Structure 1
Amino acid sequence: MLQSSEIPDCFYPNQPTLVSPNSPTPKHTLYLSNLDDQKFLRFSIKYLYLYKKSVGLESLKSSLSRVLVDYYPLAGRLRISSEDDEKLEVDCNGEGAVFAEAFMDFTVEEFLEVSRKPNRSWRKLLYRVDSQSFLGIPPLVIQVTKLRCGGMLLSTAINHCLADGIGTSQFLHAWAHLTTKPNADLLVTPFHSRHVLRPRKPLKITFPHLEFTNSTHPHYPNGTTLLDPTQQTMVPTSSTFTPTQILHLKKLCVPSLKCTSFEALASHVWRTWVRSLAPPPSIKVKLLFSVSIRKKLKPELPEGYYGNGFVLGCAEASVKELVTANMRHGVKLVQEAKATLTDDYVRSMVDFLEERRVKPDLLASLVISQWSKLGLENLDFGEGGPLHMGPLASEIYCLFLPVIGDSDGTTVLMSVPESIAGKFEFYLREFPEREEHEVKDIGESRPLI
């Protein structure tokens, strides 16, 4: 039995290489939309996969070189726009993706034993590019780590400014497809242009966009705000919800309100987070959650669009309102937030971001990103599907992750202040038979951070 969740160091037999497209690609500048280059998206989405059996390195490199012909912007480099120093663009120069090979004295079984929650030692599973800034890191960085038992860990970092969750899944499946079938055509042709999301002229901002409206909240006695990770010790928590448990949450809303699994679980996690933090009852708290706009726009975004085709839905309530009301109330707030995300709303947001380069209001907000319906858990490079799929590190955002072997289950992974972790996990697992069992008076709560 392992005594620590720390994993061993990686051994690099060779220096990382650059894998470039294996045939000439267009050389031009790729415009990024206002949804692409938002300041809060200037990081890489980092995925981690565990496989029972390794795939040949040369096979992975060859298929990567081939797929980068189609996804050539990922082989380019980000830079500041020559027209606007607050916007980014992609120099499609074919320079290549970083590919690192490593070995770790560890087994698949040992990793599965420590894989319930990410920890900082997992960061060594992705080669760290030495750069002075975010712009100096190539849009695509990959590390393949062979294990002692013949298994394999695959870590990928894909720049969020170039692709969202749907887009990254589309790219990874294209890579896997060409690994198993080198001479095949792609199942989905990538659509590169982001001009379909250009701002209007003149700008037309017709909504308040509460997701970007900064709120001012009182500080706790120790000087921290509701959730300021820079001033607190954050720890990852992880809870898996079975289809039966999710159905139980949904039944708390019927017969007066029907809801989706996401709406029920998101509302439950939001209320649990607030209950655990126990802030003053009058504080306004937000739930921000990613919603795909691919089918909401008129016309719809083209098939194969892999750029950022999502916006943040924003539900808002006072602490007292959210926690003392029944489950249906929280779900209704989520549904109302989703209903506002029309074509007009999205166009207004694009124009709003053209006028104001702002970040979402995170001062008293829970942010949920749904990875559980992207097909990420089905990535097969020819030796079978993954035994584990998740983020490389636990960030402040809440992730809804797929459950390997259970397409209707969801794992909720998020970091919370260490002082409330136990309470948060307890409330998260609490399934009242009746809503009357919920907290009666939030006014009796005391700040825990």
Structure 2
Amino acid sequence: MFESSEIPDSYYKNEPSLVRPGNPTPSRTLYLSNLDDQKFLRFSIKYIYLYKKSVSIESLKSSLSKVLVHYYPLAGRLRTSAEDEGKLEVDCNGEGALFAEAFMDFTVDEFLEVSMRPNRSWRKLLYKVDARNFLDIPPLVIQVTHLNGGGMILCTAINHCLCDGIGTSQFLKAWAHLTSKSDDILPISPFHDRHVLKPSSIPKITFTHPEYTNTTTPHHEGINGIHFLDQMLKSQSLVPVSLTFKPSHILNLRRHCVPSLKCTSFEALASHTWRSWIRSLSLPESLKVKLLFSVNVRMTMKPELPSGYYGNGFVLGCAETTVKDLVGSNKNIRHGVKLVQEAKAVITEDYVRSMIDYLEERRVKPDLSMSLVISQWAKLGLEDLDFGEGKPMHMGPLASEIYCLFLPVAGDLDGIRVLMSVPEKIAEKFEYYMKDFMGREEKEEAKEWHREDIQTF
């Protein structure tokens, strides 16, 4: 067995190829909404899947060619709009998705031993495109890595400007469906047009949108706090922390909010993670801190966004408070939960329309200076992706980012794995606070989860 978390190098027998749509597709320019075309989304969402048994490359390429007929923008290329150099659009030219096939002297069981915490060596599981800039990278890049003993690792990189988490899940499920089923009928037909989220002809900015405005502090020590955190993030290496919360532990968190305040699993775990993160940093009490989290607005809009809409149909909710009010000695997760609920309640159709107009005028990035960002992957069905040889034994991000991810747990629909990279100096403290709500028996059980996680994820 490999003692290090590093994985061996993969090798390629052939150069990557372009997989094009199997039938003619519309030659058009796809407009991207202001929710799509945000500067902080100009990257690819990179998923990794581990399978016990390989699926033939010919079958995967054939079904990919079929599904790209339906999702033809993913076979196109991003470019700058001729009318507005600040905006991106998609040239639906059918150029194709990049598909690489690799081999690695590694087994499924060996990968499972190192799969709990992503590390830099995992990047070799996705073909590195030789590109001058972001626009030169195909919107869809795929690598299948064959393992010893017949297993495989599937990595996908899907441009975030074209799809959000729900959209990527919809596309991947469509590809898996056409691989494992004999018929060509998709469970959900994709809806391409983004004009439903077009800005107003006369901008109507009716909200303040704190998710994009800089954090302000009432006292001078807040400035020192921002400087302290900035220096910490730049000077220390980040290490991934991964904790699995079983349904019983999430229920225990939620019990801290009743009877006076009821909450969802996400609200409780988001508040708890935010508090634990801030507590571990030992920041000045007067410093203002934010929690940014994705909120699906497909059903918020009137009329609702069409079924099959796979573009970015989310906005960022923003909870904001001071360090003292969030983690003071007499506080618990209830305060954070209430802030999360209030942030969600603000997001109405009028709020989303105001945000779209705000981005049309200012094209700003979210304020990340004192923010924790949580992205919800746990309820997208990503862990069920079956290409005909069974569900994945592991699913997660290809790389560990500074954003916090709520990930699905294989075999446990209600479990959630929290993955987050933190400065090395505070990693143990962050883990301690994340487990601090538990009793002695639960903490002992948590140690068992941690040992099991290394074996089973």
Q: TM-score range by the shorter chain?
A: over 0.9
Q: Which runs of 5+ in 1 are unaligned?
A: 434-449
Aligned to 2:208: 208
Percent identical across equivalent pairs?
A: 72
Q: Work out the CA distance in 1 between the residues paired with 2:194 and 2:114.
A: 41
Amino acid at match of 1:342: T
Aligned to 1:78: 78
Check the 8 A contact 1:314/1:337 in 2, yes or no: yes
Q: Work out the CA distance in 2 between the residues paired with 1:160 and 1:104.
A: 28
Amino acid at match of 1:206: T
- Which of 299, 322, 326 is the matching residue for 2:326? 322
Q: Work out the CA distance in 2 between the residues paired with 1:29 and 1:310.
A: 23
Check the 8 A contact 1:227/1:364 in 2, yes or no: no
Match of 1:210, SS state, is: coil
Aligned to 1:351: 357
CA shift at 1:181, angstroms?
A: 1.5
TM-score, length-scaled by structure 2: 0.93
Aligned to 1:280: 284
CA shift at 1:229, angstroms?
A: 3.6
- Which of 346, 353, 378 is the matching residue for 1:372? 378
Q: Work out the CA distance in 2 between the residues paired with 1:71 and 1:184.
A: 13
Q: Work out the CA distance in 2 between the residues paired with 1:222 and 1:214.
A: 11
| Residues 1:6 and 2:23 aligned together | no
1:59-82 per-position Cα deviation (integer Å, ceiling 9, x unaligned): 000000000000000000000111
Q: Work out the CA distance in 2 between the residues paired with 1:251 and 1:222.
A: 33
Check the 8 A contact 2:179/2:388 in 1, yes or no: yes
| Residues 1:391 and 2:397 aligned together | yes
Check the 8 A contact 1:190/1:304 in 2, yes or no: yes
Match of 1:106, SS state, is: strand
Aligned to 1:255: 259
CA shift at 1:200, angstroms?
A: 0.5
CA shift at 1:227, angstroms?
A: 7.4
1:180-237 per-position Cα deviation (integer Å, ceiling 9, x unaligned): 1243301100000000000011000000000000125645599543576444311111
- Which of 358, 365, 369 is the matching residue for 1:363? 369
Check the 8 A contact 1:322/1:330 in 2, yes or no: yes
| Residues 1:133 and 2:128 aligned together | no
Aligned to 1:405: 411
CA shift at 1:2, angstroms?
A: 2.7
Aligned to 1:175: 175
Aligned to 2:149: 149
Q: Which runs of 5+ in 2 are unaligned?
A: 440-457
Match of 2:211, SS state, is: helix
TM-score, length-scaled by structure 1: 0.95
| Residues 1:307 and 2:298 aligned together | no
CA shift at 1:3, angstroms?
A: 1.2
1:298-354 per-position Cα deviation (integer Å, ceiling 9, x unaligned): 110000000000000000000000001222111000000000000000000000000
Q: Work out the CA distance in 2 between the residues paired with 1:137 and 1:232.
A: 30
CA RMSD of aligned residues (A): 1.3
Aligned to 1:119: 119
Q: Work out the CA distance in 1 between the residues paired with 2:225 and 2:311.
A: 43
Aligned to 1:437: none
Check the 8 A contact 1:145/1:154 in 2, yes or no: yes
Alignment of 1:38-49 (within 5 A): 38-49=38-49
Aligned to 1:225: 229
Match of 2:189, SS state, is: coil
Amino acid at match of 1:67: V
| Residues 1:63 and 2:63 aligned together | yes
Amino acid at match of 2:124: K
Aligned to 1:438: none
Select the structure that is richer in helix. 2
Check the 8 A contact 2:163/2:310 in 1, yes or no: yes
Aligned to 2:451: none
Q: Work out the CA distance in 2 between the residues paired with 1:298 and 1:227.
A: 44
Match of 2:260, SS state, is: coil
- Which of 412, 415, 422 is the matching residue for 1:416? 422
Q: Work out the CA distance in 2 between the residues paired with 1:358 and 1:231.
A: 26
Amino acid at match of 2:102: A
Distance 1:210 1:149, change over 3 A: same
Alignment of 1:82-121 (within 5 A): 82-121=82-121
Amino acid at match of 1:109: D
Check the 8 A contact 1:226/1:277 in 2, yes or no: no
Match of 1:105, SS state, is: strand
Check the 8 A contact 1:226/1:279 in 2, yes or no: no
Aligned to 1:441: none
Aligned to 1:268: 272
- The number of equivalent residue pairs is 433
Q: Work out the CA distance in 2 between the residues paired with 1:100 and 1:182.
A: 25
CA shift at 1:132, angstroms?
A: 1.1
1:17-58 per-position Cα deviation (integer Å, ceiling 9, x unaligned): 000001100001000000001000000000000000000000
Q: Work out the CA distance in 1 between the residues paired with 2:49 and 2:398.
A: 9
Check the 8 A contact 1:123/1:393 in 2, yes or no: yes
